[in-house]
Structure 1
Amino acid sequence: MVYSAINEKGISKSMKTERNNPLLKRLDKWIGIPALYLLGKFHHPQARPQTYRRIALIKTAAVGDTIILSAMVEEVKRAYPDADITVICSKNNAAMVKCLPHVNRVETFVMKRPWQSLRRIGALGHYDLVLDFGPWPRINGVISWWLDADYKVGFYRPDTHRHYIYDAKVEHSDCLHEIENYRNLLRGAGIAPMGLLPDLRTDKRLLSSSYAVLHLFPGGAMDRQRRWTDAGWQELAKQLHQQYGVQILLSGGPADTEEAQEVCDRLQCGGIPAENIAGKYSLKDMASILQYAKLVVSVNTGIMHYAAAVGVPLVAIHGATSEVRWGPLSEKARVVKSGLSCQPCISLGFESECTAPVCMEKVTVPMVMEKIEKVLEA
């Protein structure tokens, strides 16, 4: 695999800043829309090739989306076993992309250095197919246009104005799970998906003790709307230890280390064996940490999708997000939500105007424990 060096210890604070930078988002809209519209005026749709040898996939965020993308990489590889696959990502999800099998090259697009990044991408050479898996970022459309390729496929959403430069435009729907939107993108390229799910299981076991992983930190945009209460996590950890005798591991990225330690200290003061592993393991090693846990409980974020992809018993707490759109893709997963009428209010990840996420506050520890008992009995 070919890739530029980047820290693989999860998601750093600088990476979060790049992803959630309001200025970058405004520039993406103000500059991206007119730029793509004008470029589209000079675009002449091309006929679909009969076969593909070099394929570029574009996904510039985030970890959870990239885990869903892993199933598409597998679909493409099964359809074209000899294909050379490049994934163009951002600093935010590069470490996760490097964990995916069948990827021959990882090219990291640095959002704060777009011209330098475009020059590197332009030097990648000719591709037979470009698949842009971003439903809204206009920068993805610019990357797609910049690439030298025979056929380019991307999403169409009437509210994003970014579809003008694609040879095949695929409708992106808020009514489908994101993996179904991705599969539709493959169909736009003439690739018939087999219905594969993300599978990132590993034979490597790092820990031998009996433990449960709790992931408190949503990450990304609108993290407040997807966050459960500290009191809820503390009581849940207590009941898990009392009922199942497990050690509690608190996971997170490097940016979550300090807050996770505060929670860990409170648990230890209450006599609960707990360890802060936020930022301790690489994303690659987290596959083992999650897979060999007795249980994972997580809010809707990348670790939730990762846990689903390694097949561990999982309980996912949903608030502002819909499990229909972003739920865990695993038979061993259960979803808990409060079921308020205002749910969900997030589809793409940033459109909620909620300032008081009562949907997460209304999730109780007994509700979570009920799902835990069911998933462990299955």
Structure 2
Amino acid sequence: MRRGSKKNRLMDYWVGIPLLNVLATVLAAGRRRRWPLQVKRLGVMCSPALGDTLLFSAALRDVRAHFADAEIIHFCMRQNMAAAELIPGADRRVLVDLTKPAESVRRVRAERVDVLLDFTSWQRLTAFYSLMSGAKFTAGFQTAGQHRGRGYDVAVEHRADQHEVDNFRDLLRLVRIPPGLEPQVIVPEMAAEPLAEAKDIVVFHLWASGTRSWLREWPEERWIELAGRLAEPGTVFAITGAPSDLERIEPFLLRMAEAGLKAVAFVGTDGFVSLAHLLRRARVVVSVNTGVMHLAAVLGAPTVSINGPNRNGRWGPLGRRAVGVEAPGEGCGYLHLGFDFDGRATDCMERITVEMVLAAANEVAGVHEDAGAQTWKI
């Protein structure tokens, strides 16, 4: 269920809400289920978004630590399978298509899990699949306005005033799983590093995805000015994006060349493996608030997130060398579920200056001269 697809969200709303709540009324009548005495097979689900999946890795590690001997099955969607393959904790990943309810229910039920933990926040269909999973016990989120909490045996409030990782931890506490581990990815080795010949790489990720993505994008002329301020002799600017971004990447590369800056397009063809290796080699990664930003932060790369409608305390980067730049003034940092733009400020990204982003980039890169040697402060 893609957050950016209006068609999918309408289907989830008009089909998911009545279907879920009618069935919950029928199936839950007179039933009060408790956590099973023995958990041999445990299922988990999370949002199909890249960033959400990477943040979910913290909760999955906690589940793995608490259930060391159980088989853990991660129910994934096509959109987040590549990201799920990088996060540790699950024994197996099972692909489901949230837009095909009958097929998805069959696949979930076929796994015969004892417990199913649903870490999605707004999708009614995932709550429906939890209800129909055949699990002995289910848990998930009760999110304001989403009418989904009745799909579980127990539900915890999904809050807008804390980071998503802390929402995941609230769900773990609800079922008495001790939380506390941080997001993590494990990246396979590569025979050859991307852009191996480049000695100084700066990664820019300009484009967001999803609902009204342009409201989370920074003006292109500011990216070019920032590049000029960050450039050193031999710097290569890697402009990352999805294949669908290529039609915008090419004109931007021409603008960079006109400014005397060397820039190349980088669109990975192996999921996120080569991208992860590139991000780890970067002097600094500057990105709008999107999945690539979260990947860079979790990897420990020096990362700057340009937030705008997002807020650090809700969707900011989590990493030892990561910082988020927020829009000054009132009315920004309002996104909660990722599509709640109506009636909100539309100029948040324009309020963020080059100087603000440059200062953050210098802070996280931490490059300084020490006896003629370049040192990275971690």
What TM-score do the two structures reach when normalised by structure 2? 0.90
TM-aligned CA deviation for residue 202 of structure 1: 4.2
Flag structure 2 segments of 5+ consecutive residues without an equivalent. 367-376
Shift of 1:143: 1.1
Aligned partner of 1:215 in structure 2 is: 205
CA distance, structure 2, for counterparts of residue 38 and residue 355 of structure 1: 34
Partner of 1:147: 133
Kept in 2: contact 1:225–1:354 (CA 8 A):
no
Distance in 1 (alpha carbons) for counterparts of 2:271 and 2:18? 39
Contact 1:154 1:170 in 2 (8 A): yes
Moved over 3 A (4+): 201-205
Are 1:47 and 2:34 matched, yes or no? yes
Say if 1:19 and 1:92, in contact at 8 Å, map to a contact too.
no
Pairing partner for 1:71 from 58, 65, 68? 58
Aligned equivalent of 1:127: 113
TM-aligned CA deviation for residue 233 of structure 1:
1.1
Query: Quick check: 1:294 aligned with 2:267?
Result: no
Contact kept, 8 Å, 1:56 with 1:130, in 2: the verdict is yes
**Residue 180 of structure 1: CA displacement?**
0.4
The CA RMSD over aligned residues, in Å, is 1.9
In structure 2, what is the equivalent of residue 38 of structure 1? 22
CA contact (8 A) 1:201 1:311 kept: no
Among all aligned residue pairs of Structure 1 and Structure 2, give the percentage whose two residues are the same amino acid. 33
2:332 to 316, 326, 343: 343
Q: CA deviation at 1:356?
A: 6.3
- Return the TM-score normalized by structure 1: 0.90
Tell me whether 226-235 or 36-45 shows the greater mean CA deviation. 36-45
1:159-180, Cα deviation, whole Å (9 max, x unpaired)? 1111112111111110110000
| Deviation string, structure 1 residues 18-74 (Cα, Å, up to 9, x no partner) | 553222211211121111111221212311124422111112420000001111111
Task: Number of aligned residue pairs: give it.
Answer: 359
Distance in 2 between residues matched to 1:202 and 1:96, nearest whole Å:
10
Aligned: 1:26 with 2:10: yes
1:301-353 deviations in Å (ceiling 9; x for gaps): 00111011100111110100111000011121121122220112211101112
Distance 1:236 1:192 in 2: 43
Are residues 1:163 and 2:149 paired? Answer: yes
Give the structure 1 partner of residue 182 of structure 2. Answer: 197
Instruction: Give the Å deviation of 1:245.
Output: 4.5
SS at match of 2:264: strand
In 1, Cα distance between equivalents of 2:222 and 2:345: 17
Amino acid at match of 2:218: W
Cα deviations by residue, 1:83-122 (Å, 9 ceiling, x for unpaired): 2111112222122112222322222222343322322222
Aligned equivalent of 1:233: 223
- Mapped partners of 1:376, 1:354: distance in 2: 37
Higher relative contact order (CA 8 A, sep 6+): 1
Q: 2-side partners of 1:60 and 1:333: how far apart? A: 23
- 5+ long unaligned stretches in structure 1: 1-14
